[in-house]
Amino acid sequence: MSVRPLSWRELPAAPVITEAGSALRYKTGSWRALRPVIDRGKCIKCLLCWVYCPEPAIIRGEDDGVEVDYDYCKGCGICANECPVKAISMVEEG
């Protein structure tokens, strides 16, 4: 991370986050060991991956096409497991 880590002297008295929605800035994509890759030719736009993604890191397009948000995808593989037409494969991160 490029942000300078704070020393204890700069922290509040208790572990409290006073700002709502700040988790957006916590990019969890770096946790990923396997990356889901969608084969658009096979995708039938059923949206099951979008429903099951716990993050949610599947972005739904206007035409119900889907994309992976790699900033937050932790690579759990649920989307690949749920896809009824095997359009999502899990590929090792380089």
Partner 1 sequence: MRVAQTAYARQQRVGMTGNEAVAYAVKQADVDVIAAYPITPQTIIVERLAEYVNNGELNAVYIPAESEHSALSACVGAALAGARVFTATASQGLALMWEILWIASALRTTIVMALANRALSAPINIHCSHDDAYACRDTGWIQFFAENVQEAYDLTLMAFRVSEDKRVLFPSIVNLDGFILSHGLEALYVLSDDAVKGFIPPKEPVYPIDPERPMTYGPLALFDYYMEFKKVQAEAFKRVYPVILETFGKYEEISGRRYSPVKTYLMEDAEVAVVVLGSSAGTARYVARRLRAKGQKVGVVSLTLYRPFPAGDLAKALRGLKAVVVMDRSYSFGSPGAQLFMDVATALYHERERPLLINAIYGLGGRDLMPQHVEEAFEVAREAARTGEVKEREIWLGVR
Q: Which residues bind partner 1 (CB under 8 A)?
A: 5-8, 11-20, 22
Paired strand residues for 58: 68
What SS3 state is found at 68? strand
Cβ count near 43 (within 10 Å): 17
Cβ count near 75 (within 10 Å): 22
CB closer to partner 1 out of 13 and 62 = 13
CB closer to partner 1 out of 2 and 22 = 22
Question: Minimal distance in Å, beta carbon 74 to partner 1?
Answer: 14
CB closer to partner 1 out of 11 and 59 = 11
Question: Minimal distance in Å, beta carbon 16 to partner 1?
Answer: 5
Residues in the chain: 94
